Structure 1
Amino acid sequence: MTTIEDILLLVKGGLYEDALLKVDELEDNLDKVHAVSLIALDIYEKFSDINLALDIMEDAEYITKKIKDPFKKSIALSNVASAYLIIGNRKKGVRLFEKALDEALHIENSGERAIALGKISYHMGISGLIDSALETFEVAFDTVIRSKIDYTQKTDYLIKLGEILEETGDSLSSTGALPFYERAYDLFDKLHVNFKAAILEKKILLAKTLKVCGNPEIRSALLEGRYGHAVAEVKNLLKGEKIAIGLLEIALWMKKLDVFEYKKIVREILEQINSFNYSQEGVAYIATLLTELGSIKEALVFANKIEDVEKKSEALKAIALELAREKELKDAYKIIEMIPDSEIKKKALEELFEIEAAL
């Protein structure tokens, strides 16, 4: 029996015609829609061949029309809608999402309707419609809460929705992932599913740490402890100042986990720190990262390059307070004297006094 995994292997090898022929061997039309959409997206992403990708998506759309069950049809429509949006046909994508939502309303079982809405939310999220995805999830959540099914079933459906939220976050870069992770954490925490809440808590911290290099593959590698792979991905995928920033973000994550090898990454970056040209935004962010990593001398160099008075003042304040925490009070006071913004300097002194009193 042919599976989607079999087709994905052909796609990975660039055997698109063979993959399309294999689609007919799938038993479920929903699987067929998913497989054809994956083939079209792979062609678009690897070759930027929009016309061919759209032609293939017409096949997926045709298969969708054969599906009668409203649960499967709503998911298939959202799958096709997502692919169209990613490829660039926004008008058709949005229209098909609207059809998917309308189809979901015909699902009689409230639990299944909620899951279908959750799947639609997932496809909205991965195609960039973040706000719509979150709004659709809330409709799915309310559908379960207001249903007349028993408590145990409600809990099961809510857990499934939380897992869909998490899966959506796992498919997005850090910025996009955060609202889905945070909503999933809130859900699991309130349901007292502690082990899932703990996993989400870690994913949230990672996404907040990896603001620049936080694509799904790099985050996944770091969660699994494959630090060398994550470093290699940053070097392969990013350019210019983003390489330095990405590696410092990885080092900061490792430091938060008490992985001692983070110091090696910091040393390697500092050795080639002058090899890149930096934007003002990059300069400010690197100053912050170096401060959190404890490389105060180097952080100070970058902080002094910041032209914006407020940002420079905040960077110097962070350096001063970090020195104070390390009991380097004399140096901390010297840095505070360098802060150009009087209000930020005043706040820095107040916080420094608090730290000093606690030592």
Structure 2
Amino acid sequence: MQAWYRSRALYDAVMKLVKAGRFEEALKLASGIPDGNVRSKAMTGIVVEMARSGADYREALERAIETALETKSSIKNLMGLAFEFMELGKFEDALYIAEHITDLPNRSKVQAEVALRLARRGELERAMKLIEDILDEDVKTWATSMLASEL
């Protein structure tokens, strides 16, 4: 239990560094968070803020993915990270993150959501291609239906 409290305290410190734009220090401190899920949440917070601020976040994204994969909640953590990047309009990064999701239905859900967001932006051809590439047939059918209802 002490590890969790220590993890929360370190997480709070990491987020203060992030708000101050001190990303390298935040990354260093986050890597020492004992609880894997809290460490993953911290890494997600760092990389999302780096992307939002225009900083070079590629290496931090790789570290965030690796950290998420080390947790028992890796699928949930990776999906959360992918959806954060979708919110930023960084669809290629969201799809890249989805490639690391081992659970096919959840990977497919991320791909479908990217496709629908692209369609809303007017990129219909690209959205259709993404939907066609979805391997989970149930999600593919859902995404096709959603796409049709939005047109």
Interval of TM-score (by shorter of Structure 1 and Structure 2): 0.5 to 0.7
Name the residue aligned to 1:355: 150
Structure 1 CA distance for aligned equivalents of residues 147 and 25 of structure 2: 39
Structure 1, unaligned stretches of length 5 or more? 1-85, 88-127, 129-172, 174-212, 253-261
Name the residue aligned to 1:269: 57
Name the residue aligned to 1:247: 46
Structure 2, unaligned stretches of length 5 or more? 33-38
Do 1:304 and 1:312's aligned partners in 2 also have CA atoms closer than 8 Å?
yes
Do 2:109 and 2:139's aligned partners in 1 also have CA atoms closer than 8 Å?
yes
Structure 2 CA distance for aligned equivalents of residues 273 and 327 of structure 1: 28
Structure 1 CA distance for aligned equivalents of residues 47 and 144 of structure 2: 28
Out of 114, 120, 124, the residue aligned to residue 325 of structure 1 is 120
TM-score relative to the length of structure 2: 0.65
Out of 16, 21, 26, the residue aligned to residue 234 of structure 1 is 26
Do 1:321 and 1:352's aligned partners in 2 also have CA atoms closer than 8 Å?
yes
Q: Report SS of the residue matched to 1:297.
A: helix
1:236 CA drift (Å): 4.3
Out of 96, 100, 103, the residue aligned to residue 308 of structure 1 is 103
1:325 CA drift (Å): 2.0
User: What is the identity percentage for the equivalent residue pairs of Structure 1 and Structure 2?
Assistant: 24
TM-score relative to the length of structure 1: 0.31
Q: Report SS of the residue matched to 1:302.
A: helix
1:238 CA drift (Å): 0.8
Q: Computing the radius of gyration over CA atoms, which structure comes out larger, 1 or 2?
A: 1
- Alignment deviations for residues 241-274 of structure 1 (CA, whole Å, 9 cap, x no partner): 736412134358xxxxxxxxx2413xx1125534
Do 1:248 and 1:289's aligned partners in 2 also have CA atoms closer than 8 Å?
no
Do 2:99 and 2:107's aligned partners in 1 also have CA atoms closer than 8 Å?
yes
Do 2:47 and 2:60's aligned partners in 1 also have CA atoms closer than 8 Å?
no
**Match status 1:296 vs 2:86:** no
Structure 2 CA distance for aligned equivalents of residues 233 and 247 of structure 1: 10
Q: Report SS of the residue matched to 2:140.
A: helix
- Change in Cα spacing, 1:217 to 1:285, as seen in structure 2 (3 Å) is closer
Structure 2 CA distance for aligned equivalents of residues 325 and 238 of structure 1: 36
Q: Report SS of the residue matched to 1:305.
A: coil
Instruction: In structure 2, give the amino acid aligned to 1:325.
Output: R
Question: How large is the Cα RMSD of the aligned pairs?
Answer: 3.4
